[in-house]
Amino acid sequence: MNDRQAYGVFGNPIGHSKSPLIHAAFAAQCGQAIDYRPLLAPLDGFADSVAAFVAGGGRGANVTVPFKEEAYRLATRLTARAERAGAVNTLVFDGQAILGDNTDGAGLLRDLTLNLTYPLAGRRILLLGAGGAARGVLAPLLDAAPDVLTIANRTATRARGLAHDFAAHGTVVGGGYDELAGQSFDLVINATAASLGGELPPLPGGVFHAGSLAYDMMYGQGDTPFLAFARRQGAARLADGLGMLVEQAAEAFRVWRGVHPDTAPVIAMLRNSGPDGDPAR
Ligand code: ATR
């Protein structure tokens, strides 16, 4: 190991992660001497991999699929937002202590409100999915005071459970896709894993109106199936999750290094970096 402080991203698989590129760009921009690398952990060996990284001098790490819930359990202390999310995407190592944080919600909010200049107060929001990705962004979305937030999920009971869990944060209802008939929304966020398999959540027509923003937390080359559907349905604006990816990384960088990088040049660099592999979180 060189004299740069060591960071990285744990996942499985991890080969296609853009995080090393993003953090290298942040480090160069901010003049921070860090070394950030992809860290492949065996599916049954996340805790051991973290321990080995810490023993080797690791100062912090991001965590991606499928280890965010395990990272939540591994942390010895949690931030309030990680507690609410029930998942951890950012770890800070300090001796024996492991702080678990979650920057995904903040990343989505910054992308929506700053990069896309889309204020959320008073909006009708539809959140698709009721897994970890949806849970991680619910509290910050509700804290932005939308008119209503509706969660739709293939397994309707999961959406209802999530709405119940977050009822203290605002007006939130959950149900199945069939319950969306006849309703339209200002903002529709896809937090399902459907795009990963090239699939489309079973959305009824009519959920988009002419002024709607369609936001897919996934990204890839060209439109995801969700964004292609939204385009056909006449949504006014489309956005993929690349901005959220860079924003959650910037927030993690701030947690570790105390400085918030300028994200715009890094988003632009990734947009211009040409075709690459699979769509990913
Ligand atoms: P994550 O942590 O990525 O959210 P997860 O907890 O496995 O992963 O949740 C995946 C989400 O995507 C769930 O809401 C899932 O719906 P179910 O709860 O009904 O399984 C949703 N999902 C996955 N594939 C989907 C598809 N083809 N169409 C609609 N929803 C899908």
Nearest CA residue ID for atom 25, ligand 1:
194
**Which residue among 18, 59, 68, 158 is the active-site one?**
68
Residue 151 tokens read as: 């969660």
Name the band, by pLDDT with cuts 50, 70 and 90, for residue 278. very low
Dist. CA 226 → ligand 1 center (Å): 14
Whole-number percent of the chain with pLDDT over 70: 96
Q: What is the pLDDT of residues 147-175, one digit of tens each?
A: 999 999 999 999 999 999 999 999 999 99
Q: What is the pLDDT of residues 240-268, one digit of tens each?
A: 999 999 999 999 999 999 999 999 999 99
Find out whether the beta carbon of 60 lies less than 6 Å from any atom of ligand 1.
Answer: no
Nearest CA residue ID for atom 16, ligand 1:
154
Tell me the average pLDDT across 9-29: 97
Residue 2: the pLDDT is 61
What is the best residue among 69, 104, 138, 154 to mutate for testing ligand 1's pocket, by most ligand atoms within 8 Å of CB?
154
Distances (CA, A) of 76 to 83, 95, 99, 101: 12, 11, 6, 11
Measured distance CA(209)–CA(148) in Å, rounded: 16
Dist. CA 255 → ligand 1 center (Å): 29
Query: Which atom in ligand 1 lies closest to the alpha carbon of residue 87?
Result: 2
Name the band, by pLDDT with cuts 50, 70 and 90, for residue 195. confident
Find out whether the beta carbon of 261 lies less than 6 Å from any atom of ligand 1.
Answer: no
Dist. CA 66 → ligand 1 center (Å): 13
Residue 273: the pLDDT is 84
Name the band, by pLDDT with cuts 50, 70 and 90, for residue 226. very high
Residue 197: the pLDDT is 87
Query: Which atom in ligand 1 lies closest to the alpha carbon of residue 197?
Result: 27
Whole-model pTM: value is: 0.95
Q: What is the DSSP string of the chain?
A: --SSEEEEEEESS-TT-SHHHHHHHHHHHHT--EEEEEEE--TT-HHHHHHHHHHTTEEEEEE-TT-HHHHHHH-SEE-HHHHHHT--SEEEEETTEEEEE--HHHHHHHIIIIIS----TT-EEEEE--SHHHHHHHHHHHHT--SEEEEE-SSHHHHHHHHHHTGGGS-EEEE-GGGGTT--EEEEEE-SSGGGGT----PPTTSEEEEEEEEES-B-SS--HHHHHHHHTT-SEEE-THHHHHHHHHHHHHHHHS-----HHHHHHHHTS---S--B-
Amino acid at 118: Y
Nearest CA residue ID for atom 8, ligand 1:
131
Sign for the CA dihedral angle at 84, 88, 93, 95 comes to positive
Indicate whether 3 pLDDT > 80.
Answer: no
Nearest CA residue ID for atom 6, ligand 1:
131
Residue 220: the pLDDT is 82
Residue 264: the pLDDT is 98
Domain boundaries, the chain: 5-102+244-272, 105-240
Tell me which of 135-144, 174-183, 217-226 is least confident. Answer: 217-226
Domains 5-102+244-272 and 105-240 share a fold: yes
Residue 281: the pLDDT is 40
Indicate whether 277 pLDDT > 70.
Answer: no
Nearest CA residue ID for atom 2, ligand 1:
132
Please enumerate in sequence order all residues whose Cβ is within 8 A of that of 64, keeping only pairs 6 or more positions apart, or say none: 9, 10, 11, 14, 17, 19, 89, 281
Domain 105-240 classified CATH 3.40.50.720?
Answer: yes
Q: What is the mean pLDDT of the chain?
A: 95
Distances (CA, A) of 224 to 3, 67, 87, 218: 41, 24, 25, 8
Sheet of 172-175, strands arranged across: 172-175, 148-152, 124-128, 185-190, 208-216, 237-239
Dist. CA 24 → ligand 1 center (Å): 32
Query: Which atom in ligand 1 lies closest to the alpha carbon of residue 130?
Result: 14
Measured distance CA(226)–CA(208) in Å, rounded: 12
Please enumerate in sequence order all residues whose Cβ is within 8 A of that of 120, keeping only pairs 6 or more positions apart, or say none: 109, 112, 113, 141, 144, 145, 146, 187
Indicate whether 275 pLDDT > 80.
Answer: no
CATH number assigned to the domain with residue range 5-102+244-272, chosen from the 4 options 2.60.120.10, 3.40.50.620, 3.40.109.10, 3.40.50.10860: 3.40.50.10860
Catalytic residue status for 68: yes
Find out whether the beta carbon of 154 lies less than 6 Å from any atom of ligand 1.
Answer: yes
Name the band, by pLDDT with cuts 50, 70 and 90, for residue 221. confident
Q: What is the pLDDT of residues 198-215, one digit of tens each?
A: 899 999 989 999 999 999
Q: What is the pLDDT of residues 75-90, one digit of tens each?
A: 999 999 999 999 999 9
Q: Hunting for tokens 């090393």 — which residue is that?
A: 20
